Amino acid sequence: EVQLVESGGGLVQPGGSLRLSCAASGFTFSSYWMHWVRQAPGKGLVWVSRIDSDGSTTIYADSVKGRFTISRDNAKNTLYLQMNSLRAEDTAVYYCVRGSLYTFDYWGQGTLVTVSS
């Protein structure tokens, strides 16, 4: 059974940093693209970032480019999202998502990030 378990969310002040983790199991992690998708409270889904299977290529939404860094450790079956210079508008539930070619086929339960003073 595919499982994606996010951790690392919490309350952080504007301008602060946070690192999210996603532990993957039930599939060959190193064979799949992985993504982060976020959802602000009461709002819709927004794609944030994608990393290819070996971690060599990363892409970001314009809203987080230069502030967020996606990475992975295939030996540990873990996906990361380093978030710096956080803003109030980054407040959201962050989902770790497995990519199957151009589709998001499995989603974690999400971790809430709140940026507030």
Partner 1 sequence: QSALTQPRSVSGSPGQSVTISCTGTSSDVGGYKYVSWYQQHPGKAPKLMIYDVSKRPSGVPDRFSGSKSGNTASLTISGLQAEDEADYYCCSYAGTYTWVFGGGTKLTVL
Binding site for partner 1 (CB under 8 A): 35, 37, 44-47, 50, 57, 59, 61-62, 95, 100-110
What does the block give as tokens for 83?
């978030």
- Compute φ and ψ for 104, nearest 5 degrees: -100, 105
Minimum distance, C-beta of residue 97 to partner 1, in the bound complex (Å): 8
Q: Tell me the closest approach of the beta carbon of residue 40 to partner 1, in angstroms.
A: 12
* Owner of token pair 């959802």: 39
Q: Are 25 and 99 in contact (CB under 8 A)?
A: no
Which is nearer to partner 1, 17 or 100 (by Cβ)?
100
Residue whose CB is less far from partner 1, 83 or 110: 110
Tell me if 55 sits within 8 A of 72, measured CB to CB: yes
Which CB contacts under 8 angstroms, 24+ apart, belong to 47-50?
A: 48/81, 48/94, 49/81, 50/99
Given the complex with partner 1, which of 33 and 117 has the nearer CB atom? 33
- Least Å distance, CB 101 to partner 1, is 8
Nearer to partner 1, 56 or 117 (CB): 56
